[in-house]
Amino acid sequence: MTLKYWGKRDKDLNLPTNSSISVTLSQKDLRTLTTASCSESFEKDSLWLNGESHSLDTPRTQQCLKDLRQYRKELETADSSLPKLSEMKLHIVSENNFPTAAGLASSAAGFAALISAIARLYELPQSASDLSKIARKGSGSACRSLFGGYVAWEMGELADGHDSKAVEVAPRSHWPDMKACILVVSDDKKDVPSTSGMQLTVKTSSLFQHRVDKVVPERFEQMKKSIRDTDFQTFAELTMKDSNSFHATCLDSYPPIFYLNDVSKRIIKLINLLNESAGEIIAAYTYDAGPNAVIYYEEKNEAKVLGLLHAVFGSVDGWSKADSTSFIAPSFEVEASWGAGVSRVILTEVGEGPQDSQEVLINTDTGLPK
């Protein structure tokens, strides 16, 4: 989501029209926790999401389960002493500690956690890149979430998608002082789901072709280099330009798709003002398929960036973990009306990929959610 995935060349295999890059955010702040179990006594595959029964009967999810079972089956065929987990039904329980289906990448975290939990249960030897190809079939953006830190999804060329996978650009430890402030503008379910939105853009936007032929391939290389060089100026400029380019193709779709609203646009102006007054780029905005802003900045500039954001949005929830005594007030006039429309902030940073947890969400006696 710092270099956007938008457009599929194959809808069933979820193969993209361009490579993309994202920063995996810390699970201290935004987390999906998933427990997977299987038993001969389970009658059907079941998922409970945030306390409610949730369908697994979508073609995408079915494909993910099928691929995982296939890998498990290979292990069982090679070693007949292994329990036949591939033949048992699964019970999966998952909780997101942030709004689901609101443009905060819940499908990405959700599918990445689902694939990782089942791969762990099945004791699969496959690498994160191999598992990312399964996650990709669940939701494109999910493939990148199989890694922590800075991640690229290489679009690949093959028709069967075997080379369309996530790879690590750099681990979190390479550039650990990347911070992010999410300004939650709306946590409603979004207007146009990503899948149908991108289909419409591919079909109707003339700008889109230029984006995938020319704009993104160049930015993909430049952004990877900026990450390797920990060059925030370049990383930030590319991030903002790519967000603009993606939303321009949405506007260029017919009928147009609007993910940004007036609040989002005000935040863009605010970040521009901040960078102008600092005389360099110290913060970058980016927006996915919704109005919520993700603002990236480096820790060394936290006092200035959060100083401004707090001056404008200080009355909403989410500031408790920040050290407000260190904030530097903006050098320009902030109008009270600018603060309207943001409901909370989430202060976070670059994080690790899927982690094992001691927390178990399933009651092992009943096989049902605790």
Ligand X SMILES: Nc1ncnc2c1ncn2[C@@H]1O[C@H](COP(=O)(O)OP(=O)(O)OP(=O)(O)O)[C@@H](O)[C@H]1O
Ligand Y SMILES: C[C@@](O)(CCOP(=O)(O)OP(=O)(O)O)CC(=O)O
With CB under 5 to 8 Å by kind, the binding choice for 349 among ligand X, ligand Y, none is none
Residue selected from 141, 145, 164, 249 as contacting ligand Y according to rule CB under 6 A = 141
Q: Which residue is nearest to ligand X (CB)?
A: 110
Least CB distance from residue 335 to ligand X, whole Å? Answer: 30
Residue selected from 21, 23, 49, 143 as contacting ligand X according to rule CB under 6 A = 49
Residue selected from 14, 19, 20, 32 as contacting ligand X according to rule CB under 6 A = 32
Counting contacts by CB under 6 A, is residue 346 touching ligand X?
Answer: no
Instruction: Give Cβ neighbours of residue 150 (< 8 Å, ≥ 6 apart).
Output: 21, 22, 23, 24, 168, 169, 170, 171, 172, 174, 175, 227, 350
Counting contacts by CB under 6 A, is residue 35 touching ligand X?
Answer: no
With CB under 5 to 8 Å by kind, the binding choice for 145 among ligand Y, ligand X, none is none
Q: How many CA atoms lie within 13 A of 211 on its CB side?
A: 26
- CA 134 – CA 62 distance, rounded (Å): 11
Residue selected from 85, 114, 135, 169 as contacting ligand X according to rule CB under 6 A = 114
- CA 269 – CA 157 distance, rounded (Å): 38
Counting contacts by CB under 6 A, is residue 102 touching ligand X?
Answer: yes
Counting contacts by CB under 6 A, is residue 288 touching ligand Y?
Answer: yes
With CB under 5 to 8 Å by kind, the binding choice for 226 among ligand X, ligand Y, none is none
In whole angstroms, how far apart are CA 63 and each of 54, 66, 179, 224? 16, 5, 35, 31
Compare residues 144 and 304 and give the one whose CB is closer to ligand Y: 144
Counting contacts by CB under 6 A, is residue 7 touching ligand X?
Answer: no
Q: How many helices (H) and strands (E) does the chain have?
A: 9, 15
Residue selected from 7, 110, 140, 307 as contacting ligand Y according to rule CB under 6 A = 140
Residue selected from 46, 61, 107, 243 as contacting ligand Y according to rule CB under 6 A = 107
Counting contacts by CB under 6 A, is residue 101 touching ligand X?
Answer: yes
Residues of 224-260 as b/e, b for ≥16 C-beta within 10 angstroms?
bebbeeebbeebbbbbbebbebbbebbebbeeebebb
DSSP 172: G
Residues 124-143, one symbol each (x = binds ligand X by CB under 6 A, - = not), give -----------------x--
- CA 20 – CA 217 distance, rounded (Å): 9
With CB under 5 to 8 Å by kind, the binding choice for 114 among ligand Y, ligand X, none is ligand X
Structure token digits, residue 38: 């299987």
Cβ atoms of 331 and 282 within 8 Å: the answer is no
Least CB distance from residue 363 to ligand Y, whole Å? Answer: 31
Task: Return the bridge partners of 32, or none.
Answer: 96
Counting contacts by CB under 6 A, is residue 27 touching ligand X?
Answer: no
Residue selected from 7, 14, 184, 345 as contacting ligand Y according to rule CB under 6 A = 14
Cβ atoms of 178 and 296 within 8 Å: the answer is yes
Counting contacts by CB under 6 A, is residue 5 touching ligand Y?
Answer: yes
Structure token digits, residue 63: 């494909």
What 3-state DSSP class applies to 128?
Answer: helix
Where does this chain bind ligand X (CB under 6 A)? 32, 49, 94, 96, 100-108, 110, 113-114, 141, 193-194, 288-289
Where does this chain bind ligand Y (CB under 6 A)? 1, 4-6, 14, 20, 107, 139-141, 194-195, 288-289
